[in-house]
Amino acid sequence: MVTASDASTRIAPGMRVVLLDQDVEVRDKMRAAIDSDSAFVLAGESQDWSGCQLLLERFIPELLLARVNQLPSKFVEHLSHADFPVLVGLRGESNTLVTPDGLYDTLEVPSEPEHIRGLLARVRREIYRRQADELSFLVERYVSCAVSDRVPYLSKLQVEDSNQVQEIAIEDVSLIAADGNYVRIHTKSKTYEIRETLTGIAAKLDSALFVRVHRSFVVNLSHVLNVPTKDILSIAKLSNGMEVPVGPNYREEFESIIRGRERLIA
């Protein structure tokens, strides 16, 4: 069972929510709480994963309220690397809930209205925080592009290997991953660590070759083999065997780049 707005009906403005729970009474209570919060809009609800999957593909929501035991484990695992949707787990009073990495918060159901309102307030702040991170990246990328004619792109990176500093050619780098105040530089055979932020190093790279696909990852397009989809989420498969999740906010642009490259090859 899937309930959603008709395709011809435009979803009202707000943070989109998809609800997954097999209990109709739980869905009724959650729906009432969402409808009373002007910041959120219920895009759709389902009692099973197959229906929920269709809603996620159609609406790309900011928030997913779901019984975690109804979600595929691989999907929950992928959410630990994805910006959206924010996942909140629903659990019954007598049920224990193992907290996976992809879970932001939990709510015991049935729950009092004030508990649901408190949860939605926390989630709202978290969504704003993640959106602000994305906006900050876009602004920094715009600024870096505006001055790119005056700043040469990096052709080599200095890394430390066996206590010795050496240079690696930028074309040998397949992936750059954020790690706090450091970034991990992945090549075909080795991984190095540099004290730099992902945004900082991305601004020094040729955007025609290196593309940010996630808040934590920048990939070298020449090392991307293909972009399959696993449990809704897009994955960039690299020449070194790694699989990198593609965040929803980067997916459309990245897949457009890959399709354009495939047309040129054909």
What is the model's pLDDT at position 8? 40
Q: Are residues 130 and 161 in the same domain?
A: no
Phi, psi (rounded to 5 degrees) for 32: -60, -40
Query: Do 42 and 88 have their domain in common?
Result: yes
CA 49 vs. chain centroid, Å, equals: 20
Q: Which of 254, 233, 256 is nearest to 60 (CA)?
A: 233
- For 33, the domain range is 2-141
| Number of Cβ atoms within 10 Å of the Cβ of 178 | 19
Judgement on whether residues 130 and 9 belong to the same structural domain of the protein: yes
The total of structural domains in the chain comes to 2
Rounded Cα gap, residues 49 and 14, in angstroms:
24
- Same domain, residue pair 80 and 178: no
What is the C-alpha separation between 127 and 138, in angstroms, rounded?
A: 17
Q: Output the pLDDT for position 6.
A: 42
Q: Are residues 49 and 132 in the same domain?
A: yes
Q: What is the pLDDT of residue 265?
A: 59
Identify whether 193 is part of a domain: yes
Residue type, 72: P
Q: Where are the alpha helices (DSSP H) in the chain?
A: 24-35, 49-59, 73-79, 113-146, 198-202, 248-265
End-to-end, the C-alpha distance of the chain in Å comes to: 42
pLDDT, block means (10 residues), the chain with 266 residues: 54 89 93 94 95 92 93 85 89 58 85 90 92 76 60 85 89 94 92 92 89 93 86 83 88 83 62
CATH number, domain with residue 218: 2.40.50.1020
Q: Angle at Cα 142 formed by Cα 144 and Cα 80, nearest 5°? A: 100
For residue 263, the model assigns a pLDDT of 62
Task: Give the 3-state secondary structure of residue 9.
Answer: coil
Residue 91 neighbours by CB under 8 Å, 6+ apart = 67, 68, 97, 106, 107, 108, 109
Same domain, 27 and 132: yes
pLDDT at 170: 94
Q: Which of 86, 113, 141 is the last residue of a domain?
A: 141
**Alpha-carbon gap, residue 217 to 163, rounded angstroms:** 26
**Identity of the amino acid at 215:** R
CA 215 distance to own-chain centroid: 7
User: Is the residue at 147 inside a domain?
Assistant: no
